[in-house]
Structure 1
Amino acid sequence: MKKSLIALAVLAASGAAMAQSSVTLYGVADVGFAHEDNGSTSVNRMDSGNLNGSRWGLKGSEDLGGGLKAIFTLEAGFSLDTGAQADAASFFNRQSFVGVSSNFGTVKLGRQMNPVYATASTWDSFGDALAGDSSHLFSYNGSRTNNMISYNYSANGFYGELQYGLGEVAGNNSITGDNSAGRSAAMFVGYMRGPFDVVLTHQNIHNSGPYTTATKMTLLGGNYDFGVVKLFAAYAVEKTLGVGAKDQKDAHLGLTAPVGTAGTVELSYLRKKDDLVSNANAHQVAVGYVHTLSKRTALYTSYAQMSNESAAAYSAGKLVVPAGNSDKVFDIGVRHSF
């Protein structure tokens, strides 16, 4: 009898401990057909991750008591059409971090999303996806940052994050100042209340070294949901001084509208203005449709056309575009989340 009681106590204690921590396996399988024509050549292909990047991941948390939690995320991207790892040099290429969360905010260490990419769904009507992806003209400067320390906090509709990426260049790695090759310092701050959501982002990225220049980008964007239609807008300024000088301005206007209970139409207009290079401006128009079949499965299709001035060579897809040419992309596919 005593042994039985002891066994029950051990099982109860074990169950209580297990209830305080969790690990989740999740992922996305997304693939579709795409046709692209850059005015000089065209291609039919199968593309992975049109609506959402194909991936699998592990995430978890442990309750440490007193409102404190340990958290982690490990996320690997892959190409569903070939089965290949998305980045041959990095297995958990999407995110890989560990951190601590409390009522006072969250601190994370590792590879994480940079501000422009992390907030894209707030100001981009295509949500950084499909043929209308804003990154075709907006300078994201990469979607993620290695060796990042971040602090995130949200309350009463306000949210924000501070980020610092260590450059890790030997002999060129001061915390501040010019002797800080590869370093990135970034932030975003936003406010969401009811149908309104607005965000301001800024990032300062030093070249990988030895330090010769820094790229600074500031973006203000948001959306307002009228119910029958949701309007999106964004404006960004990017400047690089010294080596690789750049002075560009990006703008986005877009909308999404529900179609019945399962469909969503997406429209967008993107514009890039180059203030240093003559005849290097470009614009893109796009339309898309996403139809939800279930909580996890959706069908999608989209079309975009990129128009380049004579010195611009921006692409709406994957082809290299000759300067001055237009680029057109059509895609159709299916996404399943698990």
Structure 2
Amino acid sequence: MKKRIVAATLLALGVQQVYAQSSVTLYGLIDDGVNYINNVQTAGKSAHGKASLVFLSSGVLQGDRWGLRAIEDLGGGLQAIGVLESGWDLNTGAMQQGGAQFGRQAFIGLGSSVGTVTLGRQYDLLLDFISPTTSALWGGSYVAHISDIDNLNNTYRVNNALKFKSQPVGGVTIGAMYSLGGVAGDVTRNQLFGGGASYAFGSLYVGIGYMNARDPNVSVYGGNPSGGGAKVNNIGATTLAGVQGNPAVSGYASAHSKGILAIGGTYTIGTGKIIANYSNVRFKGLGDVSAGPNPLGYGGSATLNTAEVGYYQYVTPTLLLGGGYVFTKANNAGGNLAKYHQGQIGADYFLSKRTDLYATLVFQKASGTDSTGQQAVASINGVTPSSSDCQMLVRLGIRHKF
């Protein structure tokens, strides 16, 4: 009897030791700040309504969030992993990502020494492999490429996604993703697929990624529960009047597919880092009204090419300074051409490991004809477009991680 009691006790202790290797972590981030914009549309470009604007906005340097991360050791180097992550607007309390309770991320999967396989709502591989080569570290969403057309700032997540990402081998990491469209009788409708790879050696990092989305008005721009597609950017089915929320691309709601190819790299010199990246975004098969409205009668394709260069440095252990330049050339449908020049500088001062104060200045100038068939206006990512070809934004913010 005593032997049985001892054996049972040891077994119980062994089980407790196994479970001790598992964990559930609660984490979060709060980011808020004051902004000044010199020119925003107030009644549509055709009415020439314009005004300066001072306002609060949250989640700019990084999106406000709280989340749960679970890890269970299954033995033999295998782990079960899961993440539920919610985003919100700090100034109103409203849920972000279309009102989804866990709109930032929601996935489960397995991880091993080979890599991870995950299922659910997830970040795409462009974020994994190319975003480290952008100015997002010190500038956040306001320094992103126009309309975040290549999703390097993670504006859009991928629903119904199967994702594989390897562990580094000799500095090389690879990944692949496929999102099921979920449409009966049409396997390819609303589908999304992509792949990517990176190489890191010493001071050098290089990444490449590709993503293709079928019916992007739904699969990308309508990817939130209450999304509704690119038509929510105020292009409408019959009129272009009113404030145009996304004029660089909102004319392409009828695209049959959207393809993104991006490559970028960084090189570290002491406490500083040089960054550079390039993306090619193509809306193909315009005129597919089953995907979205086409009030301008577009056909064929439209291509936007973007290049970015920048540099940032920790001038002290607690002070980061950064700057960069972004150029986008849009070969729009109907033979129209638009160009966007954007310069940006910023500073980030760390009060502690978890709390920092930051400042960002962005200036953009536009020329040509945009996707709506009208004169291109400056349109800094994440804010109301200008009524003219120029727009300037200044932000002062604070961020806390927990």
TM-score > 0.5 by shorter chain: yes
- 1:75-94 equivalences under 5 Å are 75-94=85-104
Deviations 1:168-212 (A, max 9, x none): 122222xxxxxx111011111010111110001101110069997
Deviations 1:213-256 (A, max 9, x none): 11111111010001143110011111122116211110000010
Contact 2:138–2:322 (8 Å) recurs in 1 = no
Partner of 1:172: 186
Instruction: Give the Cα separation in 1 of the matches to 2:99 and 2:380.
Output: 26
Q: Answer yes or no: is 1:117 the counterpart of 2:127.
A: yes
Partner of 2:385: 321
Q: Answer yes or no: is 1:192 the counterpart of 2:192.
A: no
Instruction: Give the Cα separation in 1 of the matches to 2:217 and 2:338.
Output: 28
Displacement of 1:37 in angstroms is: 2.2
Partner of 2:144: 134
**Residues 66, 324 of structure 1: alpha-carbon distance in 2 compared, 3 angstrom cutoff:** same
Partner of 1:160: 174
**Residues 326, 192 of structure 1: alpha-carbon distance in 2 compared, 3 angstrom cutoff:** same
Letter of the aligned partner of 2:191 in structure 1? R
Displacement of 1:133 in angstroms is: 2.4
Letter of the aligned partner of 2:256 in structure 1? T
Instruction: Give the Cα separation in 2 of the matches to 1:282 and 1:135.
Output: 10
**Residues 190, 88 of structure 1: alpha-carbon distance in 2 compared, 3 angstrom cutoff:** closer
Instruction: Give the Cα separation in 2 of the matches to 1:19 and 1:156.
Output: 32
**Residues 184, 266 of structure 1: alpha-carbon distance in 2 compared, 3 angstrom cutoff:** same
- What secondary structure, in the 3-state scheme, does the structure 1 residue paired with 2:286 have? coil
Contact 1:266–1:289 (8 Å) recurs in 2 = yes
Contact 1:28–1:53 (8 Å) recurs in 2 = yes
Structure showing the higher strand proportion among its residues? 1
Q: Which moved more, 1:277-286 or 1:254-263?
A: 277-286
Instruction: Give the Cα separation in 1 of the matches to 2:184 and 2:127.
Output: 28
Instruction: Give the Cα separation in 1 of the matches to 2:348 and 2:218.
Output: 46
Letter of the aligned partner of 1:144 in structure 2? R
Instruction: Give the Cα separation in 2 of the matches to 1:124 and 1:209.
Output: 25
Q: Calculate the TM-score normalised by the size of structure 1.
A: 0.90
Displacement of 1:89 in angstroms is: 3.5
Partner of 2:234: none
Contact 2:277–2:308 (8 Å) recurs in 1 = yes
Q: Which moved more, 1:40-49 or 1:125-134?
A: 125-134
Contact 2:181–2:190 (8 Å) recurs in 1 = yes
- 1:197-276 equivalences under 5 Å are 197-207=205-215, 213-243=256-286, 245-276=301-332
Q: Answer yes or no: is 1:334 the counterpart of 2:398.
A: yes
Instruction: Give the Cα separation in 1 of the matches to 2:87 and 2:308.
Output: 28
Displacement of 1:123 in angstroms is: 1.1
**Residues 6, 45 of structure 1: alpha-carbon distance in 2 compared, 3 angstrom cutoff:** farther
Contact 2:139–2:346 (8 Å) recurs in 1 = no
Letter of the aligned partner of 1:16 in structure 2? Q
Instruction: Give the Cα separation in 2 of the matches to 1:79 and 1:14.
Output: 42
Q: Calculate the TM-score normalised by the size of structure 2.
A: 0.76
Instruction: Give the Cα separation in 2 of the matches to 1:330 and 1:236.
Output: 26
Instruction: Give the Cα separation in 2 of the matches to 1:300 and 1:61.
Output: 33
The match for 2:51 among 41, 49, 57 is: 41
Letter of the aligned partner of 1:114 in structure 2? D
Partner of 1:106: 116
Q: CA RMSD in A?
A: 2.4
Contact 2:357–2:399 (8 Å) recurs in 1 = yes
Instruction: Give the Cα separation in 1 of the matches to 2:207 and 2:319.
Output: 27
Contact 2:329–2:337 (8 Å) recurs in 1 = no
The match for 1:150 among 145, 152, 163 is: 163
Contact 1:286–1:305 (8 Å) recurs in 2 = yes
**Residues 41, 279 of structure 1: alpha-carbon distance in 2 compared, 3 angstrom cutoff:** farther
Partner of 2:63: 53
**Residues 188, 51 of structure 1: alpha-carbon distance in 2 compared, 3 angstrom cutoff:** same
**Residues 228, 246 of structure 1: alpha-carbon distance in 2 compared, 3 angstrom cutoff:** same
Deviations 1:264-314 (A, max 9, x none): 111010111012353411111000101111111111110101111142234
Gap runs ≥5 in structure 1: 174-179
Q: Which moved more, 1:110-119 or 1:204-213?
A: 204-213
Contact 1:269–1:283 (8 Å) recurs in 2 = yes
Letter of the aligned partner of 1:46 in structure 2? L
Contact 1:132–1:286 (8 Å) recurs in 2 = no
Partner of 1:18: 19
The match for 1:67 among 65, 77, 80 is: 77
Instruction: Give the Cα separation in 2 of the matches to 1:131 and 1:217.
Output: 19
Contact 1:164–1:183 (8 Å) recurs in 2 = yes
Structure showing the higher helix proportion among its residues? 2
Instruction: Give the Cα separation in 2 of the matches to 1:7 and 1:313.
Output: 74
Instruction: Give the Cα separation in 1 of the matches to 2:211 and 2:141.
Output: 26
